Structure 1
Amino acid sequence: MAQIKIKGNANYLAGLFADIKRKNDADGEASLLNSVIDIAAIEGKVNNMIDYQEKANDANRLKEELNEQKAKMAKEIINDIKQIRDLLKAHFPNDTKKLGAWGFTIDEVSKKKVEETV
């Protein structure tokens, strides 16, 4: 026996329902679905699903735009903080541990590895 698969994505479901409704409307009173299925109720659900899909697409576009703005702002902040770090390093050239009081993490392990490989 052949299988009839139904995909779960919104566009497919909306298209399939449109085909079902078209056939139901064409058959009119003789349609097999009339006495059992409330086509109007399903049509309302399909319309809601399409609205949700459009809102989700809009939200995804907004999310992408906001993430781009966030990344741009992060780059600017990184540059600002690098200036602060460099100023503090210039002020404490022999004692970079003092930058820890300003919130910076001092990584002496990486520094030693660099010195050893040189």
Structure 2
Amino acid sequence: MKREDVLSGPGIGREFVRRFAGHRPMVKLLMNTGKIRTSQEKAEQVRFVMDRLVTLATADSDAARRQAYKYLNDNRALNRLFNHVAPCCQEVEGHYVRLTPIGGAGTAAPMTMVELPLEEKP
């Protein structure tokens, strides 16, 4: 493995495959709880993945469900995505996930709260 492979890409000093493999558990946790706390760089990467999944969910077709399930591998998270998150994001164009900086502890990485827009509409 070349050293530039590890250092290329945004931030966290891992190869693309290992960096991308870390997204799925965070995305599943975000789908089940509605918000998670993570570092700023990981939050931006989770936002990228979630924006793509929510865009798929707004289409609300069988093909979109299959593509989302291919990434999530979890029926509970899939149903929450299509039944709760997608209806809240129908009118919004992109940036479906809210990132709120919450600071860091001393010299640690800056932390960010990642939240889904799950407000119920009247």
Q: Which has the higher strand share?
A: 2
**Structure with the bigger percentage of helix:** 1
TM-score (norm 2): 0.27
Task: Answer 1 or 2: higher relative contact order, Cα 8 Å, separation at least 6.
Answer: 2
